[in-house]
Copies of this chain bind each other. A is one copy, B any other.
Amino acid sequence: MIPTKELVLEAGNRVAPYVHRTPVLTSRLLDDIAGAKLYFKCENLQKMGAFKMRGAINAIQQLTEEERKAGVVTHSSGNFGQALALAANNLGVTAYVVMPSSAPAVKIEAVKAYGARIVISEPTLEAREREANKIVKETGAVFIHPSNDLNVIIGQGTAALELLEDYPDLDCILTPVGGGGLIAGTALAAHYFGKDCEVIGGEPFAVDDAYRSLRSGKIEDNTNTNTIADGLRTHLGDINFPIIKSLVSEIIRVDEEEITDAMRLIWERMKIIIEPSSAVPFAAVLREKELFKNKHIGIILSGGNVDLLKISFLNR
């Protein structure tokens, strides 16, 4: 059930004209702090500010001409809505994005600026799904799930594919774990293009559904969503979970203070803006230093879409 090497390679070629080949940054200071050699793949510098552009492009490109004419639809309060809107815009396809009424106006404006049609729903998952289904029925548009869609998953893996092209000898790659699309895609890329390259997830203790899912063998949910890493509040899906189960070594949990400290280190030392979710894998490395000692570690910095006015360490 694991997608083939060719699919991953093809996705790399397919997304390349539409995404930035993001830089891989290194920092001697952060290496010293971690006791390891770190290679940060900067998807915060990706178009629309997150890796999600990759999956959206790959998914839309797999559609037939007929399907493209009808358009695409997703529901998202965050980055995937923007990604699908921009990807659809690039490929001349109509995008419908269902957003909860609780979404910040600035995010709604961003999706609108990329030319998508926005449908506002009640702020529950059920209401969002209902609205999306309604659009599918009325317009024939194809529903594309933000993380539990095989083409999206493979597209997200192209960040790790590029990273391994640049640094083929990494001992492991870490990503944050939210809906599971990024880590599943990364695991595929590392499986086919790494040399015994492990893939490890970072997850907040507060929303450790993936950690528990790997232990119980079934998809677990979160009882609360009380974490600063707002991109990681979702749970795994039936398409990405089998890939994660078979190819991800482990998931390391971190607490909220560790996330904020790691984020601050990256802002201050590397001079780049990352969102809290992106700091989670680096926080995991700092928490488990012995495990990573002297290793060559890739870290996917997943995104940089953060409200600058809401960063706690800036407001002391």
What is A's interface to B at a CB cutoff of 8 Å?
20, 23, 25-26, 28, 44-45, 47, 49, 267-268, 270-274, 304-305, 308-309, 311, 313-316
Contact = CB atoms under 8 A, between A and B. Distances in A.
Contacts of A23: 23, 25, 45
B271 A267 contact: no
Given A20-B25, A315-B315, 16 more contacts: A23-B23, A23-B25, A23-B45, A28-B47, A45-B270, A45-B271, A267-B273, A271-B272, A271-B273, A271-B274, A271-B304, A271-B305, A272-B273, A273-B273, A308-B313, A309-B314
Contacts of A308: 267-268, 313-314
A312 to B, nearest CB: 12
Contacts of A49: 271
Contacts of A311: 314
A49 B268 CA distance: 10
Contacts of A314: 308-309, 311, 314-315
A46 to B, nearest CB: 9
Contacts of A26: 20
Top 3 A-B residue pairs of the complex, sorted by shortest distance between their CB atoms: A271-B304, A23-B23, A271-B273
A196 B259 CA distance: 48
A85 to B, nearest CB: 14
Interface centre among A273, A309, A313 (most CB of B within 10 A): A273
A47 B26 CA distance: 10
A128 to B, nearest CB: 27
A111 to B, nearest CB: 14
Contacts of A304: 271
A305 B268 CA distance: 8
Nearest to A272: B272
A13 to B, nearest CB: 21
A163 to B, nearest CB: 14
Nearest to A275: B271
Nearest to A311: B314
Contacts of A305: 271
A99 B271 CA distance: 24
Given A23-B23, A314-B314, A272 B45 contact: yes
A221 to B, nearest CB: 31
Contacts of A274: 271
A274 B271 CA distance: 7
B25 A45 contact: yes
A165 to B, nearest CB: 16
A42 to B, nearest CB: 8
A271 B28 contact: no
